[in-house]
Amino acid sequence: MSDAYTRQLNEDLLRPLLQTSWRFYLLVAFLGSIVAMGLGTWAWQMWNGFGVTGINNPIFWAFYITNFVFWIGISHAGTLISAILRLVNAGWRRPVTRCAEVITAFALMIGALFPIIHLGRPWLFFWLMPYPSSRQIWPNFRSPLVWDFFAITTYLTGSVLFLVLPMIPDFALVRDKTTGWRHRVYGALALGWTGTPKQWHRLESAMSIMAIAIIPVAVSVHTIVSFDFSMAPVPMWHSTMFGPYFVAGAIFSGIAGLIIAMAALRKFLHLEAYLHPLHFQNLGKLLLLMSLLWAYFVFAERLTIWYGNEPSEIAVMNVTQRGSFAPLYWTMVVCNFVLPFTILSIKKLRTITGCVIASFGVLIGMWLERFLIVVPSLGHKYLPYSWGVYRPRPVEIMITISTFAAMTLLYVLFSKLVPIISIWEMKAGQHPAHAASEAVAHDAVLGETRA
Amino acid sequence: MSAVYALYPDGDSAQRAVNGLKAAGLGDDAITVIAGEPLEHHPFFETDKSTWMWYLASFGGLVGLSFATWLTRMTELAWPINTGNMPIVAWWPNLIIMFEMTMLFAILASVLTLLVTAGLPGRRGAIYDPQVMDGKILVGVANPGDAVAVERALTVAGATVIKN
């Protein structure tokens, strides 16, 4: 690997950390104000009570739990994809992994916030923790909500460590390339990293172990989120396929989130030399695969219910496909299947723009899917006298919008403070031994550039 | 503490330097190698590769499994609540907690092992040069007995810079 390449790499990937334009401050101020409005709205909800939301008998789960499931799904973009690509030693993962892992950490934090918002009295959140209360009552481990607590805690801890450990060598790089307060701060974060063979070997061993451990944990997390629904005898919830269906949907929306994040980074941080069209093409193919898998699950689920002809389930099915929820349902089908299938199955359309359009569609479609799982079933339980309707109130809409702003804000701040592409992994990828195995990928990039 | 080190532009010249130092009678423990990226496929980078991390991670997982088994069983027996006609000690749901705790403790054990065995957090050693971040490979010796012989071995290998 040439020194010139290394210097160029350092310069390109450290530029966002060392140079700040007025646009950054403007964006942070804009997003920060939306987040502040969201926090203010939440405070207002706590002050006035849960009655300010549209949640009412019989629909006790609505926007907040939809958002919870949606954001936990988005979190599957990062660590899971990164761990799989790391284990199969896919060379093209190098510029992608950190962009992806950051999504996991922040999406999990935001997702985990929603059950707390939904508590109404969030200061009692600690009741979920496994400790005996004053009456020596422990959390009931037979409750899926307690499973959520353990699964999300494990996944969040693992994902944050999986993200942070490979950042240590890059912190050392920033330490050596900066002066003043940056040198001191990044020096502390680098933990005294030098780069001896022992340190590199230990880091790689730890990453391998964590990659192996984090994959089943990621699968378990969304399976357990699906158990929140499938353990309840509610029409169209009590299904054995909810686990894999939720996991597939989570990976689907996660990849869409990753494509959008990568396209934004490429555009605004000028990372065209590192995030190639090939990366988007590969992720686009994965997105297409997940779209087909999602359609398969929806078909299998709907066919089984239709064939079974159980009245309470047919009532929910009809209200989503032909009743008041039909516009949302068919928008979901278009966004999750028709749009990505059309764009991504045609090679000419599988460009960066095409992948981003498909991804935006998938994000909208998957949010609608979560909403359509939660609300219609609760509103149409077994006996018609208990049926009800739900209309979201401004509080819920504002908090929902603010979480999207929070996600973007956290991502923007992270990419300002940490190299968003793992620099040492990029250097390692240029090593002759690695470069040979990645030659095919480079050829594909060149071929595409010529085309 | 005195030290002599040199910077090399590529793995091959760094390998020659390490070979030269070994020929001068220095052991692996006495030679310091530092690089800005993992340099696989070079013998000088193959040192210190064996680790107990996999075993310790497995042990951590076992500790997590045991802890979760104790926690779920003990708490269910401490306050027996009949839930949905399930048995008081309900192994099916307990398995979920046991799985998560197994994985969490395995992950924590591997991270702890990394930090301890890689000496993190710690102070940077006597031998370090920020140029390793620009792609240079550092080969050096701390407290060399025969500094002249060390410098010669480093120079012969094609060092771009030699520093004391």
Write the pLDDT tens digit of every residue in A209-235: 999 999 999 999 999 999 999 999 999
Q: With an 8 Å Cβ cutoff, are A176 and B130 in contact?
A: yes
In this prediction, residue B161 carries a pLDDT of 66
To which H or E segment does residue B37 belong? none
A85 close to A93: Cβ distance less than 8 angstroms: yes
**CATH code of the domain covering residue B132:** 3.30.70
Residues A385-421 as b or e (16 or more Cβ within 10 Å = b):
eeeeebebbebbebbbebbbbbbbbbbbebbeebbbb
Contacts of A105 (CB under 8 A, 6+ apart): A75, A78, A156, A159, A160, A163
Q: With an 8 Å Cβ cutoff, are B114 and A206 in contact?
A: yes
Average pLDDT over residues B12-23: 90
**Percent of chain B whose pLDDT exceeds 90:** 46
**Any bridge partners for residue B4, and if so which?**
B141
pLDDT greater at residue A379 or residue A439: A379
CATH superfamily for domain A3-450? Formate dehydrogenase/DMSO reductase domain (1.20.1630.10)
**Any bridge partners for residue A59, and if so which?**
A56
The pLDDT-based confidence of A65 (bands split at 50, 70, 90) is very high
Interface membership of A201 toward B (CB under 8 Å): yes
Write the pLDDT tens digit of every residue in A72-107: 999 887 888 888 888 888 878 888 899 999 999 999
Structure tokens at A176: 């050596």
Examine the predicted complex and report whether its ipTM is higher than 0.90: yes
Report whether pLDDT(B26) > 70: yes
Q: Are residue B142 and residue B106 in the same domain, yes or no?
A: no
Q: Are residue B112 and residue B128 in the same domain, yes or no?
A: no
Nearest CA in chain A to B44: A197
Structure tokens at A265: 């980074």
CA–CA dist A92, B102 (Å, integer): 32
Write the pLDDT tens digit of every residue in A230-252: 999 999 999 999 999 999 999 99
Q: Rg for chain A (alpha carbons), in Å? A: 23
Interface of A with B in 213-232 (CB under 8 A): 213-214, 216-217, 220, 224
Q: Where are the domains of chain A?
A: 3-450
CA distance A278 to chain B (A): 24
**Percent of chain A whose pLDDT exceeds 70:** 95
Residue that terminates a domain, selected from B117, B132, B150? B117
To which H or E segment does residue A209 belong? helix A197-230
- Number of domains observed in the structure of chain B: 2
Q: With an 8 Å Cβ cutoff, are A2 and B135 in contact?
A: yes
List helix spans (H) across chain B: 11-23, 53-78, 91-117, 147-156
Across chain B, mean pLDDT equals 89
Report whether pLDDT(A8) > 60: yes
A158 close to B103: Cβ distance less than 8 angstroms: yes
* Omega within 30 of 0 (cis) for the link into A197: no
Which residues does chain B have within 8 Å of residue A154's beta carbon, measured at their own beta carbons? 100-101, 103-104, 107
| Domain carrying residue B24 | 3-45+123-163
A23 close to A412: Cβ distance less than 8 angstroms: no
Average pLDDT over residues B52-68: 97
Asked which of A27-41, B21-35, B94-108 is least confident by mean pLDDT, the reply is B21-35
Q: Rg for chain B (alpha carbons), in Å? A: 25
Structure tokens at B134: 């620009």
Q: Are residue B62 and residue B89 in the same domain, yes or no?
A: yes
Among A261, A207, A252, CA closest to A95 = A261
A313 close to A281: Cβ distance less than 8 angstroms: no
Among A309, A151, A335, CA closest to A243 = A151
- Entry pTM: 0.91
To which H or E segment does residue B137 belong? strand B137-142
